[in-house]
Amino acid sequence: MSTFWSLWVIVLTLANLALIIWVLFANRKVAVDDQTLPENKTTGHVYDGIEEYDNPLPKWWFMLFIATLVFSAAYLVIYPGMGNFKGLADWTSVGALETSEAKAQVQFDETFGKYRDMPIEDIAQSREALKMGSRIFANNCAVCHGADGGGNFGFPDLTDNAWLYGGTPEKILETLYNGRQGVMPPQGPVIGEAGVKNTAEYVLSLNGLEHDAAMAAQGQKVFNTVCMACHGLDAKGNQILGAPNLTDDIWLYGSSREQIQHTIRGGRSNQMPAQKDKLRDDKIRLVAAYVYSLSRQDEEQQ
């Protein structure tokens, strides 16, 4: 702040305090005790039968005003409020923020820091860590994957072992940090409507669902020509590409004939947003451990 504006603030502040003091004492006509108030006097103003009294402030009320003025003077001496004068306490809002952040960081480290270098498998064995991970999951992931991690239409179930990109701790961390962009290219323009329907019948047959055998046979030829590159010759998927296993009867967009045809015809596109800029490393590790534990609940119960 320049010297001019600093002086301007000081003058305005002191002038306002002086004006308040003048107004307070100018209206203090008579110093009276609360117990010995004089007989009420009126100003002569009458409105709708209501008269306006002209009594001085009660002493206790007047003293409260004096106390606020004393407090104001002390505050302006101790804390910054007079232009460039920093105050005797040398307090700043930036310093207060930094102190608060440092205190919060200490508390954060006490709560989360112990998991920073712990393997995900070990974190998944800690009941306390899983409780924290579940709360972070509920606040950031449940909107897509469901409160129990069971998934939603277009969002994978995290409680089974059908991993699109792999279920190892390293792969889960990679997914959380960097996100994923899943794309199934539309095949309708490539294989035509007949190819779409035949391939859908073949996919149904891979899962033992009701299908047209003749159409499935034709669809297998299309699959081996067009779809095998991503899903593999055995249709069991490719985790490097995020191509799902088409033989496990686990469906991201539904198993009806119409939904499968829609997927083949128009393709699919879905995104898992990266969390590295949203969550701290410690919290990401807790979420990873929680997700890792979800698919191993059956193993732990056995």
What is residue 301's predicted lDDT score, i.e. its pLDDT? 46
pLDDT at 134: 96
Model confidence band, residue 31 (pLDDT cutoffs 50, 70, 90)? very low
The tens digit of pLDDT for each residue in 119-166 reads 999 999 999 999 999 999 999 999 999 999 999 999 999 999 899 999
Residue 17 clears pLDDT 80, i.e. is over it? yes
Structure-token pair, residue 270: 């879905």
pLDDT at 200: 97
Query: 2 or 44, which is more confident?
Result: 2
Domain boundaries, the chain: 3-78, 114-194+231-301
User: What pLDDT was estimated at residue 34?
Assistant: 47
d(CA 102, CA 286): 22
Residue with tokens 């004393």: 70
Alpha-carbon dihedral 68, 72, 78, 81, rounded to 10 degrees: 150
Phi-psi region of 149 (alpha: psi -120 to 50; beta: other; left: phi over 0): left
Share of the chain above pLDDT 90, in %: 71
Output the pLDDT for position 39. 60
The predicted-structure confidence for 240-283, as pLDDT tens digits, reads as follows 999 999 999 999 999 999 999 999 999 999 999 999 999 989 99
Would you state the CATH architecture of domain 114-194+231-301? Answer: Orthogonal Bundle (1.10)
Could you tell me the end-to-end alpha-carbon distance of the chain, in angstroms, rounded to an integer?
A: 70
pLDDT at 83: 87
Q: What pLDDT, in 10s, does the model give residues 167-203?
A: 999 999 999 999 999 999 999 999 999 999 999 999 9
pLDDT at 40: 63
How would residue 299 be classed by pLDDT, with cut points 50, 70 and 90? low
Contact between residue 81 and residue 72 where contact means Cβ atoms under 8 Å apart: no
Residue 229's contacts (CB-CB under 8 Å, 6 or more residues apart) are none
In the chain, the amino acid numbered 35 is Q
User: What does the pLDDT read at residue 56?
Assistant: 74
Six token digits for residue 93: 């809002």
Q: What is the distance between the alpha carbons of residues 104 and 99, in angstroms, rounded to a whole number? A: 9
- 66-117 pLDDT per residue, tens: 999 999 999 999 999 888 888 899 898 899 999 999 999 898 888 888 888 8
pLDDT at 38 exceeding the cut of 70:
no
Q: How confident is the model at residue 300 (pLDDT cuts 50, 70, 90)?
A: low
Beta bridge partners of 138: none
In sequence order, the 6+-apart residues with CB closer than 8 A to the CB of 1 are 9, 83, 84
